[in-house]
Amino acid sequence: MRYKSCHLIEHGISINVDSIQACCLSREFNKGQLPIIEKYENNKINWDELFEIKRRHRKHQSVMDLKFCEGCYNLREEDWDNEDYISYINFDHWSQCNSNCIYCGVQSYKPKTKNNVLNAIKELIKQDKFKNTGEITFQGGEPTILKEFENLLKLFVKQGSKVRIHSSGILFSRAIKEGLKKGAVSVVISPDSADENTYKIIKRVNKSKQVWDNIKHYRKNLKGGNENLVKVKYIIIPGINDNFEEINLFLNKIKELDIKSIILDIEYTYANKNINAISEHVYILMDYIEHFAGENNINYELYDSAKYAVKNRKFEKTTDFSKEIFDKLKKENIDNNIKY
């Protein structure tokens, strides 16, 4: 019998400020995130309890019965894997950052823990309940200023794990550099603009040159199959960087630094509010970036909101980027009614 299953419910956890969940994917229309353990205290995780809860979830014929996963792109028409282990971990358990992005609220959170889970992860490994077959992700606050970050990173590199790190890029990390050189780590940096003034508007810090210099530093020593491990992200923010001038500045910078991986997303609040009515303007920009990536042999990825937008797309894909298309977008102005 086939089930609609999910690898994150089977073998994933997202460690948040004061709770543990199956994943970090959340939409207003699917009632928010799926909780696994609602609270954890004293930096301890009860792994026996966690696996028991996961077993209860897998007893459902479908994750749809859990009423949290409707529309998620991670759903699979496959049998559940009933083995107890963790292979996907998302670290999102701190809120400090050295940037102040207009679309992000991490600095407004009030942490209720001491932000230390290193011992809990060591215990998971000691119990032989961790496998390196998934992916480890650092996001939330800025990982390079997290006290336990380097020790966690070294631990997972030693385990042979695939690690993805989301960083502001403001601080250069030797641990990230070494992980990149070993091919064990990928780093995602989201400057969202190659223009210093636009960067300052979005990030509310004046660090554009520093960030692009660090991107260049991370990239310059990577060769062969590791070239795409430095991933530069562009979040389309309607009304701010959603025009061809901004896009072309960004793409020219990508070409200048020989970046081999672009990640594209759409600003979360706008996308969540308009999930079934994303502007054609936004789709054309997405198509243009994808076209550029293909023409220049650059890896192209979509993140959460962009994936949902593509899944719900109602416009034909743009393939002819003529002057008329460019002129049309220059005249358009998206009013997303969102005050940042």
Spatial neighbors of 153 by CB under 8 A, at least 6 apart, are 138, 163, 165, 175, 176, 179, 185
Cα–Cα dist 173/160, whole Å: 20
CA end-to-end distance (rounded Å), the chain: 48
CB 124 within 8 A of CB 86: yes
pLDDT computed for residue 105 by the predictor? 62
pLDDT computed for residue 28 by the predictor? 47
Break the chain into its structural domains and give their ranges: 85-331
pTM of the predicted protein model: 0.85
Q: Which CATH number fits domain 85-331: 3.30.1460.30, 3.20.20.70, 3.30.70.20, 2.30.30.90?
A: 3.20.20.70
Query: Which residue has 């076209």 as its token pair?
Result: 291
Query: Which residue has 């780590």 as its token pair?
Result: 185
pLDDT computed for residue 272 by the predictor? 83
**Phi and psi, residue 61, nearest 5°:** -65, -30
Cα–Cα dist 315/328, whole Å: 16
pLDDT computed for residue 47 by the predictor? 92
Closest to 309 (Cα-Cα) out of 334, 278, 331 = 278
pLDDT computed for residue 141 by the predictor? 84
- Cα 339 to its chain centre, rounded Å, is 23
- One digit per residue, pLDDT tens: the chain, 340 residues? 455 788 888 899 999 887 888 887 755 444 545 656 667 666 688 899 899 888 887 776 555 555 667 667 787 888 888 899 999 999 988 878 899 999 886 554 455 555 678 999 999 999 999 999 999 999 878 999 988 999 999 999 999 999 999 999 999 999 999 999 999 999 999 999 999 999 999 999 999 999 999 999 999 878 777 899 999 999 999 989 999 899 999 999 999 999 999 999 999 889 888 878 898 999 999 999 999 999 999 999 999 899 989 988 989 999 988 888 888 777 776 766 666 6
Sign of CA dihedral 303, 309, 313, 315: negative
| Residue type, position 26, single letter | S
pLDDT computed for residue 30 by the predictor? 46
Cα–Cα dist 336/321, whole Å: 25
pLDDT computed for residue 6 by the predictor? 84
Cα–Cα dist 289/61, whole Å: 40
